Amino acid sequence: SGSGKSTLAHAVEERLHALGCHSFVFDGDNVRHGLCGDLGFSVHDREENIRRIGEMAKLFVEAGVIALTAFISPFARDRERVRHLVAAADFIEIYCRCPLDVCESRDTKGLYRRARAGAIAEFTGISSPYEAPKTAELIVDTGKDQLSACTDQVMAFLRQRGVAPGHDHA
């Protein structure tokens, strides 16, 4: 929470849309209340949450839609499981690097404060670990760089990989 995942994913989606690309952002706000509304935040529930998102993203990719997923997926094994659901060319892991203190400073919901007070168990970065990716295809420093620079970096990478066409004018 607070690393800029959803903000970046939505900014990238806007750029893709401007280029005529069909895309969809999966994030906690549009998944946790519906498809994964029956899940909590235990290790098992987090694994299941990421599995379901991966399966949905796979269906979207198979339909020709660029699926952008913006989730706290703290465990490398869960990210690897999702990586193996789709063709290698269809999975791009983008790590939004952001120091914990910056994440906390962006916390408008008070989640970090509540986690530090013990009101939220197994909170990533506080009472539950986060395993930083070792094989991410792209790393963006959302803790240091402006949103526009991070978005430019992602779009350049997507063009290089043939996911996004030509040059965007956003």
Q: What does DSSP say about strands 138-141 and 94-97: parallel, antiparallel, or unpaired?
A: parallel
Q: Is 127 a catalytic site residue?
A: no
> What tokens does 25 get?
């952002």
Catalytic choice (1, 3, 73, 128) = 73
CA 42, 44, 50 angle in degrees (round to 5)? Answer: 100
Q: C-alpha dihedral over 70, 109, 75, 42, to 10 degrees? A: -120
Q: Other CB atoms closer than 10 Å to residue 163's CB: what's the count?
A: 17
Residues recognised as catalytic: 73
